Chain A
Amino acid sequence: MTPDTPAVACTRLAYSFGDTRAVDGLDLTVGEGEVFGLLGPNGAGKTTAIRCITTLLPVPAGMVSVFGHDTGRERMAVRRLLGYVPQQLSADSGLTGRENVALFARVFDVPRRERAERVAEALAAVDLADAADRLAGTYSGGMVRRLELAQALVSAPRLLILDEPTIGLDPIARTGVWDQINAVRAATGMTVLVTTHYMDEADQHCGRVGLMHRGRIRALGTPAELRQGLAERRGTDTLPTLEDVFRDVAGSGLDDQSGGFRDVRSTRRTAKRVG
């Protein structure tokens, strides 16, 4: 592998559910070590794109590669490089924090002699060492998110994929989760691909963002570049927000298609579990 092999490369990625084209010709390159934010409203195709990259949805060979491994052909190789935190709070409430992390150590083939230590390190890295032996069912929403981060970290992934990591969390917990992500990234240098529809978070934490709308990336760059670009186009002195940029690229079509009933329902369900 050459040093400049991108962490993620999507070439004209397309995926449809029946007649609905969730992802429609997505081109995306995420460099190693980047924190890349995939932004967009509900229904923009972010989650579908993520599920294609994580091998959850079958895509033909040649569309997506992770560190040079094709997700269509080398599924196992791709999975070994990934840490994945889905949108839902996915820790098993019937297990303790430690057992939740140990499961992922096991399925990533961590040898028995270093399992306990690795699990303890992952829990310590997200500040859950003290709560490790409590059932995950007793954790708060923010704690569950951090536990999921530990589950993803235990296998030392090169690419961490987070789907709406702060959805439904209160502002303090949101900050806590981002602090955790940034600390881990600083320590390990891993690449982070994150989706969110909170533009302010992306502005603050992502090195580069892609604004996604109707299955495609409509604008790409650092948050500052995108905001500056819009200011120049409009000829204004005040710097617009990332949200303004988004409204600009998405145009008037923003309201009619975004956020189908199913997305709203799943968002609500997640919010309810967060409590």
Chain B
Amino acid sequence: MSEAPAAPRSASAERTAAASLLLTPPQPRSGWRLLPARIVAMCAVELQKLRHDRTELYTRAIQPALWLLIFGQTFTRIRAIPTGGIPYIDYLAPGIIAQSAMFIAIFYGIQIIWERDAGILNKLLVTPTPRSALITGKAFAAGVKSLIQAVVVIVIAAILGVSLTWNPLKLLGVGLAVVLASAFFSCLSMSIAGIVLSRDRLMGIGQAITMPLFFGSNALYPVAIMPGWLQVVSKINPLSYQVDALRGLLLGTPAHLGLDFGVLAVAAALGVAAASSLLGRLAR
């Protein structure tokens, strides 16, 4: 690639001189208003990127569609899993929404390593953005991505005849659960990124933990039929609480919404704290 010859810039210098805006620094936002502003900034970038390149949106829809279409349809016929009287594909749908959102978030750390390598992260760290605000912004940006994914899976599920709620308040709750869980999983990923510092290693660890997180949750089958040790895994796995909330909200099955949202919120907050404290390792 060659650069077009750049002419002397006296003309643009005059323009800059006339432009008063570039001579006055913006008024700093302070206190509580800073965090929401950074979250909005990071989410805006994520949405802009998705608008320019929708490939990821389409390719990411394939796997959940296959899970519902093949696994869901087959197991609905087998009737091997006790679902409390609802068709298995209905039971499965919230689990697949949670799973596909988690898959996006768990590899989010790769992006932050890429940004580190490209110098973007360093540049952001030299802006008036505390590390915790940057991580929270990124966590919500991952949440936005997961939310779009969740909408896609809900549409697929609806097309496959799963009877989901259309109550707007409940859907809002679904959105909140997806965002909180993605915030946790993306922070987990960014924390690992802060420890291993390389894309390849993060990729390997991501691959290694996604399946245990998925199978060690109530996404595919109820906790009650798991062996004892797996029930323990499921108890400490935030994915289980997300699935429980999604199932309760989307299908109206009995759920522990207070506990679910509580666990998800605490997990997200802990994740932000962990990832923020490890971010410095990526910056040096």
Contacts and interface: CB of A to CB of B under 8 A. Distances in A.
Interface of A: 17, 51, 54-58, 76, 79-82, 84-92, 94-96, 99, 102-111, 114, 117-118, 121-122, 124-127, 135, 140-143, 151, 153-158, 169-170, 172-173, 175-177, 179-180, 182-184, 186-188, 274-275
A108 B120 contact: no
Contacts of A187: 13-14, 16-17, 22
30 contacts: A51-B122, A56-B122, A56-B125, A56-B284, A57-B283, A79-B128, A87-B119, A92-B49, A92-B120, A104-B123, A106-B44, A107-B38, A108-B128, A109-B37, A121-B19, A124-B12, A125-B16, A125-B22, A126-B12, A127-B9, A142-B4, A154-B22, A169-B3, A170-B3, A172-B5, A179-B6, A179-B9, A183-B10, A188-B16, A188-B22
A76 B131 CA distance: 11
A76 B34 CA distance: 12
A10 B40 CA distance: 36
A107 B118 contact: no
B62 interface: no
Given A56-B122, A121-B19, A92 B45 contact: yes
Contacts of A142: 3-4, 6
A117 B1 CA distance: 31
Contact of A90 (B34, B118, B283): B118
B28 interface: yes
A125 B45 contact: no
Contact of A108 (B26, B117, B284): B26
A56 B40 CA distance: 23
Nearest to A142: B3
Contacts of B168: none
Contacts of A87: 119
Given A80-B28, A106-B37, A109-B37, A183 B9 contact: yes
B170 to A, nearest CB: 32
Most buried by A among B3, B21, B123: B3
A143 B3 contact: yes
Given A89-B119, A107-B41, A183-B13, A114 B21 contact: yes
Contacts of A179: 6, 8-9
Given A82-B126, A176-B3, A183-B10, A156 B26 contact: yes
A173 B128 contact: no
Contacts of A157: 25
B78 interface: no
Contact of B124 (A105, A107, A118): A107
Most buried by B among A17, A127, A170: A127
Nearest to A173: B3
Contacts of B167: none
B214 to A, nearest CB: 28
Contacts of B22: 118, 121-122, 125, 153-154, 156, 187-188
B117 to A, nearest CB: 8
A107 B16 contact: no
Given A79-B127, A107-B41, A183-B9, A155 B26 contact: yes
B182 to A, nearest CB: 20
B59 interface: no
B284 to A, nearest CB: 6
Given A56-B125, A86-B119, A114-B21, 15 more contacts: A57-B283, A89-B118, A91-B120, A96-B52, A109-B27, A124-B15, A124-B19, A140-B2, A156-B23, A157-B25, A170-B3, A175-B6, A177-B6, A179-B6, A187-B13
Q: Which 9 residue pairs across A and B have the least CB separation, nearest first?
A: A176-B6, A90-B119, A88-B119, A142-B3, A183-B13, A173-B3, A187-B16, A106-B41, A275-B1
Contacts of A102: 44
Given A90-B118, A109-B37, A109-B128, A118 B21 contact: yes
Given A54-B126, A106-B41, A127-B12, A94 B49 contact: yes
Interface string B18-55: 01011111111100001001101100110011001100
Contacts of B48: 95-96, 99
B73 interface: no
B222 interface: no
Nearest to A106: B41
A170 B6 CA distance: 12
Contacts of B53: 94
A67 B206 CA distance: 44
B12 A107 contact: no
A135 B190 CA distance: 26
B130 interface: yes
A190 B271 CA distance: 40
B129 interface: yes
Contacts of A151: 123
B48 to A, nearest CB: 5
Contacts of A88: 117-119
Contacts of A175: 6
